[in-house]
Amino acid sequence: MAKNRNYSCKDVDMLMASKTIAENFWANISELSATRTDWSEQYANDLITRIDNAIETHLGIDAKKDLRNATVTLASIQVPARRDVSYFKTQVDEDFKKETSKRDEILKTLGFANHLRGVQKGNQESLIQLLYQFKTNLTDTLRQEITAKGMNPTLLDNIIGYADTFKQANVTQETLKGSTKEITQEVSDVFNGIYDEIIGICKKASNYYQYEPLKKEQFTFAKALSNLGAAAKIAGTEPTAA
């Protein structure tokens, strides 16, 4: 990474996380626009376009086809996947409460014993591992045992479906991270401008949603970065720019 950055993560990670924040900003603009005169749907759209252009022009990536799709897929699939995994476990706990050994065997076989704690903490790798163990070990016999208690088979199919989608998006994203071009100071200024603007949005919006944890999380840059699988941490106290 070149010098003179306001952030310590990779350029591509910063842009991907910024894109996630910008998408969340656009999704909530009808409410947020009432809080500031310079926040509008047009501004939200322009921000997304500028980030896409920065990715495509300066990183040599087709943002709309590759990076954007991978980023949006990863961000969008984690919430429903974690929800369905949690709902599955709750139903198994209840349906097999009188058969504790069977309950424990099912949860262990399908990956919950080893990976659920990581999933609950938002760890991306734990979610991938749980989904794949679930997909691999859900035999027809085990499926029948579970659904015979009343669980909807659609829930099982959804969890299985997340496995391939999530892994492919993750592979695509990691591949794209290695395609960064040499960055000039001019480009560095563009990247810093985007980062500073996104951090400013995060500070204001997260404060506005301080009593709505789920909404607030959508405007926490470190969380967006973590959800994308970035290993680096942001310098300074989040979400203040370095």
| 64-88 mean pLDDT | 74
pLDDT band at 226 (very low <50, low <70, confident <90, very high): confident
Q: How far apart are CA 59 and CA 191, in angstroms?
A: 11
Give the per-residue pLDDT at 234: 37
From 19-28, 146-155, 190-199, 218-227, the region with the lowest mean pLDDT: 218-227
Structure-token match 């200024």, residue found: 189
From 4-18, 87-101, 157-171, 196-210, the region with the lowest mean pLDDT: 157-171
Give the per-residue pLDDT at 151: 95
Task: Tell me how crowded residue 162 is: count the other CB atoms within 10 A of its CB.
Answer: 24
Q: In this structure, what are the phi and psi dihedrals at residue 218, rounded to the nearest 5 degrees?
A: -65, -15
Res. 236: pLDDT tops 90: no
- Percent residues over pLDDT 90 in the chain: 55
Q: How far apart are CA 177 and CA 197, in angstroms?
A: 22
Cis upstream peptide for 239 (omega within 30°): yes
pTM for the full predicted model:
0.49
Give the per-residue pLDDT at 69: 62
pLDDT in tens, 13-61: 899 899 999 999 999 999 999 999 999 999 999 999 999 888 878 775 4
Give the per-residue pLDDT at 235: 36
Give the per-residue pLDDT at 242: 32
Give the per-residue pLDDT at 173: 61
Give the per-residue pLDDT at 124: 75
Q: CB of 85 within 8 A of CB of 159? A: yes
Strands (E), the chain: none
Q: How far apart are CA 29 and CA 8, in angstroms?
A: 29
Res. 2: pLDDT tops 60: no
- Percent residues over pLDDT 70 in the chain: 79
Res. 77: pLDDT tops 80: no
Amino acid at 120: Q
Buried b (16+ CB within 10 A) or exposed e, 119-150: beeebbebbbbbbbbbbeebeeeeeebbeeee
Res. 108: pLDDT tops 80: yes
Q: Is the dihedral of CA 209, 18, 189, 11 positive or negative?
A: positive
Res. 93: pLDDT tops 60: yes
Q: Is the dihedral of CA 154, 155, 157, 161 positive or negative?
A: positive
4: phi > 0 → left, psi -120 to 50 → alpha, else beta; which? left
Strands (E), 68-190: none
For residue 85, CA distances in Å to 56, 150, 191 come to 35, 16, 37
